[in-house]
Amino acid sequence: MSRDSTTWIHWLLLSGILLLVFWTRYLLIGVPLERDEGEYAYGGQLLLQMIPPYQLLYNMKLPGIYAIYAAILSFFGQTHEAIHMGLLFVNLITILALFFLSRLFLSATAAVSTAATFATLSIGYPVQGLFANAEHFVILPVIGGAILLYLALDRINLAYFFLAGLCFGLGLIVKQHGALFIIWALLVIAVDRMLTDNEHKGAHIYSPIGLILLGAALPYVLTSLLLFQAGVFEKYLFWTFDYARAYTTQVSLTQAWDALSLRATRIIAASPLLWVLALFGVPLIARTNNRRNVVFVSSFTIFSVLAVCPGGFFRPHYFVLLLPAAALAVGVTIDYIGNFPFADKQHLLRKGLAVTSIIVALVSSLALQYQFLWQLTPAQVAVKTYGANPFNESLAIARFIKQDSQQGDRIAIIGSEPQIYFYTGLHSASGYIYMYPLMEKHDLALSMQREMIKDIEAIKPKYLIYVHIRSSWLQTSGSHRLIFDWFEQYVTSYEQLGLVKIYKNDTRFSWIHDLAGSADTSYWVEILKKKDIPG
């Protein structure tokens, strides 16, 4: 791994990468929200109304992502386009941050290659890169923390250690997967101090570790204090510890391996040459004479892989956590090719081979996703990515309800479509915005169903939305059926306002004045209104 000066050509290329990313993401900024985005948007919306997480929204994620969404909504507006504009700028900043990180130990050409690789992989269809999942907001502070950690090790700067820990702590509070990078930082410090053969050896091993831990703990402690003050601390602990523990013990090793194999195959197939370069880069990391760089980059790669693994679910967007390390590995390969031990007079051949390798890999990846990125409409992108899930339809459903509703009305969605809460601006009748915990095989599921039923019966929401789509439930043979049996009885006090029928290549909307027939498809959504509510 080598260092050189960054020329105007490198800055021009980096600017071109950023402009291409901006243009591509902006073209598709109108993609509708998917479920996770809907949850985060609803949580952010509630925060702007001074309603804390875990009051009208239950989930096992730590609440940093809701604060980020609240900031995006307050700055860009409360629309799905605003959320994707926020993601656009976060992605651009992450690309820049990764360039600066790679410049600490790679050549300028390799650093540009790293940035271009990440830009390409992070927008990809296989990792659901166009959607503002939490992983995008984890890796930005993690990369910032990595830069500060490297500089702290190089300069023995205690303030940098604290700031690095703070960055890693911010990553953690966005999503628990970020905890792996705190452990990584501690390991890097310990190994680096052991390998350092100078007067600083041993003198600065405890204070850097302490400062990393202090910085990392600060966001979590402050968040916990705020939630305690808001009166939701018990719910917060239950969802982020008790339920999270039950959630992460559901998947067997066989199921985890099957999920990993499926996701990895799809991700590699979309950018095969980039992943080949990344694969070569992993062992090449060890060829440098700088032991600090070897430890830093190789361990970062290992912990990035581990960050994808908790629970064994291997959701497509989990792999966003791996992309910075993969991009750095590509940069290492390009750096090695550019410094391949040819004769000095073949310097241009080395550089030309390096540049050609990355260009071919990038162009082939973009060519494989050309239709997805530059020919489909935002609505088509949602269908291509998520199939028959009612994400496009949620916009129309919410528009209809907003026209019929008044401020203060409540709504209950019997299904897992939290984006509708956000679109309508109405508060949920229960904190159970997902049905998944109620369908899972753990001891908490039945009590959760009972609690949701109790919440809805107490609030008596004006609107009910019933989602008859398997992916909105993920019911299994072992799922309790209490919620279904209850709903059959409870729904008799509601009248139908609309019916949305989703077909393979079409969606048909029927509203109150033109309702006709029953659902003749397996994918449908029913909109209901309480009978004793006039208007």
**Residue 342: pLDDT above 60?**
no
The predicted model gives 11-20 an average pLDDT of: 97
Q: Coil, strand, or helix at residue 202?
A: coil
The predicted model gives 154-159 an average pLDDT of: 87
The predicted model gives 436-453 an average pLDDT of: 94
Confidence of residue 351 (pLDDT cuts 50, 70, 90): confident
Percent helix / strand / coil, the chain, rounded to 5: 65, 5, 25
pLDDT > 90 fraction of the chain, expressed in percent and rounded: 82
Give the C-alpha distances (Å, rounded to integers) separating 148 from 16, 158, 327, 436: 26, 10, 19, 39
At residue 2, the pLDDT reads: 61
The predicted model gives 177-193 an average pLDDT of: 95
- Diameter of the chain measured on Cα atoms: 87
Give pLDDT tens digits for 79-138.
999 999 999 999 999 999 999 999 999 999 999 999 999 999 999 999 999 999 999 999
The predicted model gives 197-204 an average pLDDT of: 54
d(CA 276, CA 215): 37
At residue 390, the pLDDT reads: 96
At residue 89, the pLDDT reads: 98
**Residue 202: pLDDT above 70?**
no
- Torsion-angle region of 175 (φ positive above 0: left; ψ -120 to 50: alpha; else: beta): beta
d(CA 92, CA 261): 30
The predicted model gives 40-52 an average pLDDT of: 98
At residue 176, the pLDDT reads: 96
Strand order in the sheet with 410-414: 427-428, 410-414, 463-468, 524-530, 494-502, 507-511
Contact 260, 314 (CB under 8 A): yes
* Mean pLDDT (the chain, rounded): 93
DSSP states of 23-44: HHHHHTTTPPP-HHHHHHHHHH
**Residue 522: pLDDT above 80?**
yes
Phi/psi of residue 496, each to 5°? -80, 130
The predicted model gives 494-510 an average pLDDT of: 91
